[in-house]
A and B are shown apart, each in its own frame.
Chain A
Amino acid sequence: MSAPTHTPETWGLLAEFDTADALIAATRRAREAGYTKMDGYSPYPIGEVADELGFPRSEIGAIMFTGGLVGATMGFLMLTWVSWVEYPLNIAGKPYFSWSMFIPITWELLVLTASVSGVVGLLALCGLPMPYHPLFNVPGFARATKDGFFLAIEAEDPRFSPTTTKDFLSGLADVKSVEEVPA
């Protein structure tokens, strides 16, 4: 294996904290400093971190609603076509277009397509599957699933600078370490 011929580009900077409160405070400070391209990582969900990161409303609701609407419409049209056009059956003298009998299947297809859109939409919005992520280049990052609380600021952020951002993170209260994340 040959040695790298150039230093890898930086993906961003990663600061580690020992407690959830320190991470919340750090995220608040970073937001106040004007950083936008950042994320918090913790062993369990912390509502305040999400609040401080200023997550936008998820699009998952709109995706599921659209999926459900399409499924319901298709289901209703399918039953209309089958019972009215393709294979009309006289059942107890009722009209071929007995819409009230179509509702259960329409409903089932609504539920099916809405939930499938939810699963697929969630994976797509999260960018999954993702076999590689630069953060895993940092050896200590595995503690995010055990006892480590991390704040990452990405190089894409307009305010990012390898030196001042590093100084900013190092100056945060209770910070344990600040590491550069190679891309």
Chain B
Amino acid sequence: MTEHHHDDSHYVAPTIEANYAPLRRVALLSAVVGTVAFLALGIANASMNAAHGGVRDLFLTYQSGFVFWSLVPIGAMTLMLIGYLCSTSWALVFRRVFQAAMRTWPLMFVLFLPVAASALFMGHDSSFWWAVPAGEFARDHANGDPVVTHEVAHRQGLYLNGLFFLLRAVIIFGVFGLLMRAMLKWAPAAEDEGNAANKSKLKGLGGPGVLVWALLFTVAMTDWVMSVEPAWSSSMFPVVAAMDCFLVTMAFSALVFYSLVGENQTALTIVKDKFRIDIGSLMYAFTMIWAYASFGQYMLIWAGNIPEEIGYYRKRLNGGWEFVAYALMAIHWLLPFVIFLFREVKTNPKSMKAMSIMLLAICATDVIWWIVPCVPHAEDTQFFHLLMAIAAIAMVGGIWGLAFLGQLRKANLLPKKDTAFLANWGHH
């Protein structure tokens, strides 16, 4: 054994040559085309439907763009915490992607400001029903399903009001920001110099950090997504959102990583088939839990059939949105379920890139489907609102993506010392 022994303490990861220009072009294109399309569609909609929430639709569709992209830094933080806690290989492979995503958290707060403005200042043009003055709300929702009585609105108002909403958001951004800061501060000495004290601090942060995430992510998804639907609540929804959060983060990381090193033999020799299979299998697991939680929520609400709950699905299974629901069943679950069974897909960077693009697209569709159908639009304008939301996703993604890539290119794609685990795996 001695002659083949690999000493991890002397390992230094090779420099990974990566070309960031193609990804930058995609982000720039997405930002420009997304912004132009969002503003053009939004202004057209606002002028055509001035009396029917045209301005509100701008905020509502923007909100789906914000929520979708906020899942990446939040997911990066959480998966990194789990990675430190359980010493996982995938968190080593995607280490730099996760770290770059976490560094964009301050920008995410800036991107949150329109959502805060919608809750605080927009009155009858707010995307949140609870921020709309009571009388006007009743008028706009006359053909909506859930019956929000004056009493319900009054009671929920203790929690769902602009200032408390803002305070909760500040706490969410603040606490997540502290967790990210701690990890980013301790990581360099731990992963590039093998500093044992920092390694144990990071591992110690993992457990409590995940608990804090679980509580605050529930608050975030309740506020930013669930509260747009009048009177609706589901304790399963944060689980559905969490699976999208992890899946979006893994798919985004795989897309970025394989786009940069998909043909780089130095990197691919280190990130062996075994690790690529693990990454694909983890994404497979997230699609399964998403399907399990989404279906469980649907089945219980369908069986219960009570007015406060059923409105959520009546809006989302009518007026054209039912096709989005079918697409979710087919592309968010059935297709990945069948395709990820094949190991050859998971080891091949090109097919993993294709799978990641498909999963990102369907997760974005899922987020749009959560948020945009909450107000009863006329049936023939639903497709228009879907397009607005897609433009918002492209716009926020482009702007955020440029900041993300600016952070990602600062460091070598693989950590100097920690990569020894990947490089020497299988030898003894």
Residue ranges of A at the interface with B (Cβ–Cβ < 8 Å) = 19-21, 47-48, 57, 61, 65, 92, 94, 100-101, 103-104
Q: A19 with B302: in contact, given A61-B341, A65-B341 (CB under 8 Å)?
A: no
Q: Which of B32-52 contact A (CB under 8 A)?
A: none
Docked complex Cα distance between A173 and B295 (Å) = 60
> Does B21 count as interface, using CB distance less than 8 angstroms?
no
Flag if B1 contacts A19 (CB, 8 Å): yes
Q: How many residues of B contact A (CB 8 A)?
A: 13
Chain A residues within 8 Å of B110, by CB: none
Measured between alpha carbons, how far is A100 from B4 in the docked complex, in Å?
A: 57
Is B139 interfacial (CB-CB < 8 Å)?
no
Contact of A20 among B298, B302, B428 (CB under 8 A): B428
List, in ascending order, chain B residues with CB within 8 A of A20's CB.
1, 428
Residues of B within 8 A of A61 (CB): 341
**Contact call B426/A47, Cβ cutoff below 8 A:** yes
| Cα–Cα, bound, A20→B3 (Å) | 12
The reply on B318 being an interface residue by CB < 8 A is no
In the complex, besides A21-B4, A100-B295, 15 extra interface pairs with C-beta distance below 8 angstroms are: A20-B428, A21-B1, A47-B426, A57-B343, A61-B341, A65-B341, A92-B305, A100-B298, A100-B299, A100-B303, A101-B299, A101-B303, A103-B295, A103-B299, A104-B299
Q: Given A19-B1, A61-B341, do A100 and B302 touch, yes or no (CB 8 Å)?
A: yes
Which chain A positions have C-beta within 8 A of B302? 100
Assembled-state Cα–Cα distance A47/B4 (Å): 15
| Complex interface: chain B residues within 8 A of A21 (CB) | 1, 3-4
Secondary structure type dominating chain B contacts? helix
Chain A residues with CB under 8 A of B298: 100
Listed by A's residue number, 19 A-B pairs whose Cβ atoms lie within 8 Å are A19-B1, A20-B1, A20-B428, A21-B1, A21-B3, A21-B4, A47-B426, A48-B426, A65-B341, A92-B303, A92-B305, A100-B295, A100-B298, A100-B299, A100-B303, A101-B299, A101-B303, A103-B295, A104-B299
The complex places the Cα of A52 from the Cα of B426 at a distance, in Å, of 13
A109 to chain B minimum Cβ distance, whole angstroms, is 16
Interfacial residues of chain B within 325-366, with CB under 8 A of chain A in the complex: 341, 343
Q: How far is the CB of A6 from chain B (nearest CB, A)?
A: 44
Please report the C-alpha to C-alpha distance between residue A7 and residue B291 in the assembled complex, in whole angstroms.
64
Task: Write the nearest CB–CB distance from B333 to chain A, whole angstroms.
Answer: 12
Q: Which residue of A lies closest to B303 (CB)?
A: A101
Q: How far is the CB of B383 from chain A (nearest CB, A)?
A: 27
Find the residue from A19, A48, A57 having the highest chain B CB count within 10 A.
Answer: A48
Closest to A61 in B: B341
Residues of A within 8 A of B299 (CB): 100-101, 103-104
Residues of chain A lying within 8 A (CB to CB) of residue B428: 20
Taking the closest CB of chain A, its distance from the CB of B280, in whole angstroms, is 14
7 nearest A-B residue pairs (beta carbon): A100-B299, A47-B426, A21-B1, A100-B302, A21-B4, A103-B295, A101-B303
Residues of A within 8 A of B1 (CB): 19-21
Give Cα A57–Cα B343 distance, bound, in whole angstroms: 10
User: Of all chain A residues, which has the CB nearest B1?
Assistant: A21
**How near does chain A come to B341, taking the closest CB pair, in angstroms?**
7
In the complex, what distance in Å separates the CA atom of A57 from the CA atom of B426? 19
